[in-house]
Amino acid sequence: MNKNFTDLALAVLRIGFSASMLTHGIPKIAKLSETPIKFANPLGIGEAPTLILTLIGEVLCPILILIGFKTKWASIPAAITMLVAAVIVHGADDFGTKEKAVLYLIAFLAIFLAGAGKYSLDAMMKKR
């Protein structure tokens, strides 16, 4: 396959999955203003810390991945968040329920392994 198409495919993967993830993460920002914070606590670390870690994995990191900045590093918390969602939060559910989390996990793992590609801030900064 032509290298240009590979870089274009990486951009489509990064942008598509990250933008989609933001639709799940951004609504959770409002939960920060709840008193007390009401959020799932599957790891037993508390509802507020779990919410903050979830927002990092579903908002901050996808924004970084979308623009291609520190992409490999940003894909790690995003993948871990989806691993927790698939295995712990939806562990007892049928596959159809956990399927989205599994698909996001696969995508973020692929982004971690492949990197951002040339259509990214990472590539632009590397040229300097």
Domain residue ranges in the chain = 3-127
The predicted pLDDT at position 2 comes to 65
CB atoms within 10 A of CB 95: 9
Q: What is the mean pLDDT of residues 92-114?
A: 96
In this predicted model, what pLDDT tens digit does every residue of 56-100 receive, in sequence order? 999 999 999 999 999 999 999 999 999 999 999 999 999 999 999
In this predicted model, what pLDDT tens digit does every residue of 14-61 receive, in sequence order? 999 999 999 999 999 999 999 999 999 999 999 999 999 999 999 999
Rounded Cα distance, 85 and 83, in Å: 5
- Checking if the pLDDT of 1 tops 60, the result is no
pTM of the model: 0.92
Rounded Cα distance, 32 and 38, in Å: 9
Helices (H) and strands (E) in the chain, counts: 6, 0
The predicted pLDDT at position 94 comes to 95
Rounded Cα distance, 62 and 78, in Å: 7
